[in-house]
Structure 1
C-alpha cells in the first residue's frame, strides 16, 4: 500500500530517529513508534500524487489515507474555526464513535489548496508491516456484518450504538450520517463514523433506520434474524417513534441474548509511589497485587483514585473514596437479577455523589478551604453480566483494549477538554497550553450539587481488557505507545495480568516518573455457549418490557459551580453523555405531539420569513485560541435575569404548554431568562439577539428580537445551551466574563 521507503520519526523528543515504517519500536531508543493514520477532510487531496509528502510531514498513502510521519511534533492549527469544523469539536465527548480534527491550517505553500484538514479515529487495525488493514482505515459495517453471524450479541450491540448516537448528531443537524451506510464503519466492537453528513432538512425520524437495517437481515445471526425483521417492521410502521423508545427494545434484547454467553472476569491492581515522590496519594480496589477471579452472576467492580489537595491529604481523600464506594456499590438495588439499566446509571451516580459529600464533610470538619481542601479523581468499572458501567471524575482514565485497538473511553475533566467541547480550541492544540491539565472537577472539593460524574455503559461482546489508570501512566501518550506490547498479549494468552500490570508500572516509572502511578486491569472473556439456544423473537422482548417497567431518571446534570482551586479560569460547562434507557409514556406522547407541532411550526415560520426583513449581524464575544477566562456559567438551571447562548438549534413555543409552535432559533442565538411559574415544565425567555450565521431555513429578523416565548424544558436540557451573566446595553447583549 505504501511506498517502499516510507519512514516515520520517533516520537521521543530526545531521539527523533527516522525509522522504517515496518519497525514496531525505534531502532535507536526502542520507544514504540506511534503510527497515526489520518483521513483528509474535503477534496483538496485529489490533485496530489500518492507518495507525496505534504508540508514535509504528511505522507499521502492513497487519496483516503495519510500518515503523520512526525507524530511527536504537535500539529498546526488555524486560529479561525468555521462553524462546520466547530461541530466536530462540540461532539468531542463522543469521540469513541466519531472522528475528530487532527489538524486544520493553511499550508506553507499554495500547492495544496487554501486549507488542510485531517481527521483522526484513535487506533485502527494495522498489519504486521505497520500498514492499515483496510484501504479506508476502517471497514464498512455492511461488509463486516455477515462475518459476525456467530456473534449475535455483537450485531445487536452495533445497532444499539447507532441508536445512542441519534440524539447527539441530531443536535448538530447531522443525524443523516447514521442513514448513510458508506459512513458507518466498525472497529472491533465499536461503531465509528468515517465522517459526517449535514442534514438537508431539519427533521429525520428513526423509522428511517428500519428501512436501512432491512438490508442487514440476510446476513444476521439466525438467533436474532426474526427479531430484527420485526424490529424493522415496527420502525417503518411508526410503532417505535423515538430513539429512547428504540433503546428500550435493544436493552431488553441485549439482556435476553446475554444469557447465551459464558463469561469470565479477572481483575489485577497495582500501585507505586514512583521514583520522585516520597509518598503515594493513589489508591485502588481490589487490594493491590492480588489477582481476583470474579463471579459473572454478581456485580464486580474495580476503582482507581488519584488524590489531590494540600497538606499531604490526597491519600486520605483517595482512600476515603475507595472505602465509601466499596461500602455503597454492593447495596445498589439496580444490579439485581432483574436489573434496570437506566436506574443502574442513576444509582451509580448517587453512590459517587454520596462519596463526594463524605470527603467534602471531612474537609469542612477539618476547616480546610480553597487549595487546602483535599480531593481525588476517580475511575470505576462495574461489570454486571454482559454490561460494563464506567464512571470517571477528574483526569484518571479508562481505556478499552481489543487485539487490534485501544480506545480511550473517558473524557478528562480538565480545561483542555472543556475548551474543545465549547468549540473554542482543537484538542491537540489545547493540550499545549501550560494550564491545559488543570482539573475542573474532583471528588470532595465541594458538595454534590456541583459534582457531575461522567457515567456510561458499554456491552462486552468479545474478549477485551479495560485499563483503569492514574495520569502517572497515561501522561505523554504512554498507553497509546505501549498497549500493543504490554496489554494486547494478554488477549492472545501470551501474558498474564500480573505480569502485564508490573510491566505497565515499570513503563510509567521509567518513561514518565513524575508522579504516583496506579493501574487496574479488568480482563473480560466472553464466548457464545456451545449449547443450542432458542432464537430471540419480538414477543420475548415485549414480555421483558412488560414485566420490567424501567423508570427513566436522567444522570445528574452538571452544574457550573466549582471551587477556585479546581477552576483557574471559569466554571466547567455541561457534560454531553450518551445515556441509556427509555422515556416515560408521557414523554413518548409528548414526542409524537412535538413532531406535529414542528410540522405546523415550519409552515408558520415560512410565512414569517417572507414577511419580516433580515436583521443586522450581532456582536458576541469571539473566542481566542488560548485557555483564558470565558463567560461564566454558574448553574445548570438558568435563573431569571441570566442569559443563555444556544449550542444547538432550538424550537420555541408561544405558550407554556407547547401547543402553539413559533420558530426554530439557530446556534449562538442569545436569550434572556424571565420569571416562570413552573420552570420544570417551561421556561419563559426573551429573544435578545439572533445569530447572523444561520441556515437558509432560519431567518435572523430584527422584529423577532424582544419577543417573549417559551422553552419546553423536557426538550431543552442544559446540553442545548450555555448559561451566562450579562446585560443589555444600547440594544446589544454584553456577556460578562
Structure 2
C-alpha cells in the first residue's frame, strides 16, 4: 500500500493520486526551487537539493548476514499480520525455503519499478565533505575547540570498534532493496555502526510499525514473542515509548534481526544542536535554559526504567526543534553503563559544562547557577525536587521580563500578582539593590480534605461513590553531630466515580471502580524506583490502574450476561498527591478543577463525550453540541474491553495554595462551579475555613441550581510555603 503523506490514507500500490484527498503519490515539490521531484528521488534534478527521505540507522553486531536476517524477519512479520487478519484455521506458516524464495522475488510497486536511485560517488556523503541537509547548522564544536572538558560516561567502556566493512556506501540493508546506505560512521558504543539510510520506497508503511499498530488491538493467541518476530532488543524501548507521544524522543521507523540487529530512527542530524556557551555563541535566555532543564528532568523519569539515562548526558545527542518552541530533542537512546548508573549530579555537570558562563545571563540569574551547583553537589536528589526548583524559578523570572525591579507603573498579565500567595514573592518584596533573591523550593505544610455525596432531588437511588485516603508521615532526626530536623511527607489518593447501567448496576460499577483504584495505589504505590525518595507513580502505572478497574467491571458484565444499556459502567476521576506533586487522571465526564488565588478556577479535565470529541476534530462548539448524542459518553469503565479505554493523565506541581475539586456531573452541570467559585470556593482556601461545612453548602446550592442527578464532590486543600 501507499500511505498518503498528507492525509495518511492507505492507497493501493497502483494509485497515482490519493483516492481520499487527491495528493500526488508519485511526485512532491522541491522546497528549494519548486520543481516536481519523484518521491523516490534522493535529490532534485534541477537545483540539487536533497529531497529524499533519510533515516538514522544503527547496526549492532556482525553485519555480514544483513540480507538473510532481513528476509527472515520480514517473513515472520508478514506471517503475524496474516495470522491477525485471516480467519481461524486459514493460516499456515511458511517454510524457510518458501521464505527465501519469496524474499528473492519481492514485487515492487508500479510507482517504483527500480527502487535504486542514481547515487554517484561524486555526491557521496562523508563527514569531511558537505552535509546532506542544505542550510543546516554546522556540526557542533568539539570539546577540544571549546577548551572545555566534556562529560563522558563511557570512558570505562572498551575502545570503539570501526564500522563493519560489510556495510558499504550504496549497498542495501534489506532484500527488498528499500533501505540504501548513504553514509557509514563509527559509533560511541563497541560493536556498533551508525548509518545514514535513504528510503527508496518512502510511501510504503514500515512492517514493524504496521505490526505494532495491530498487535495491541487483538486478542489472537499464539503470536510469537518479540524475539521470535525478529524484533531486536535494541528496538524494544523505542516501541514501548511510542505511546508517550513525546516529540523529545526519537521515533522508530523499522527494526529487524538480533545478530546483527538493525534499527532505523527518525533522522535528526539536520536539526540545530543545543548551543555551547562560548564567546562566539552567547548563552540563550534564562527561560529557554529552564525549559531545557525541565524537559531533561521529565525525560529522566521516563528513561530511567529503560536504563537509558545516558541519552540525556551526551552533548552530541542533544538537538533542538526547528520551530519556535526550540524544544529539546534526543537523537537516539544510549544504554547506561551498569557499573556506574547515571545520577542527577551528572545531569548538573553536563549543563554546567554546556553553560560555563551561566552567571552572565541577561538578566543576571545567579539562582540558575546555584541550581546547577546544588544539582552537582547532590543536594537535589529527586526529579520532583528539581522540577519544583525549576517551576519556582520560571515563575519568578517571567514577571520580571527584561528588568530586575519593575516600577510601580509596570503591569503583568497574571491576575492579583501583587498579592503574594504563600511561597511566592510580590514586587514589593524585592530588595532595594539589584541583587535578585534566590528562589526557594516550596514544601507542603497542610493537606486537608472533605468529601460528600447526595442523592439529588430527582433520583430514587445514588449511583455515585468516592474515596479519600490521606497519609502523613512524621520524621525526626538529631544527634551529637547532626542538627535536630523534623519533616513531614504527605500522600493522598482521592477518587470520585459516577455509575450507570440499569437496576443497581450503576452503584455496583462506581463502588467497584473506586475500590479497585484505591486498592491498586495502596498496595502498588512504591518509592523503590526513586531510591526511596517520595514520588508519584509513573503515567503507565496510573493507566494500568484504570485498565485493571475496567477489567473487573467488564468481567462482572460478562458473568451476569448484561447487554446494551443494561451493561453497567462508571466514570472515574483520580487525584494523587505526593508533597507538592500532583497527578490526575480521568475517564468519562466527571471532572477535576483547580482553584488558586492567582489563576482562579481552571477545569483540568476534558469530558469524554461526543460533543468534545467533535470539537477536537475541528467542529465549532455550537455545531458539535447541536447533535442529539452530544452528551453521550465516548469512554466509561466497564461496558467494553481495555482496547476502548484511554484515560487522560496529567502531572503538575503545586506553586501556591491550591484547592483541587473532584466532582460528578451532578455538581458541574450548567456551569455551576464557574458561576459560584468566587463565593463558594475562594473562602475555602483560607487555612481556618471549615472544608466539611463548605462541601455541604456547595451540595445544597448545587441541588437548587441543578438537582437532576446525584451530586458528589471531594475538595482537597493544599497549603504550601518555602
**Structure 1 length-normalised TM:** 0.39
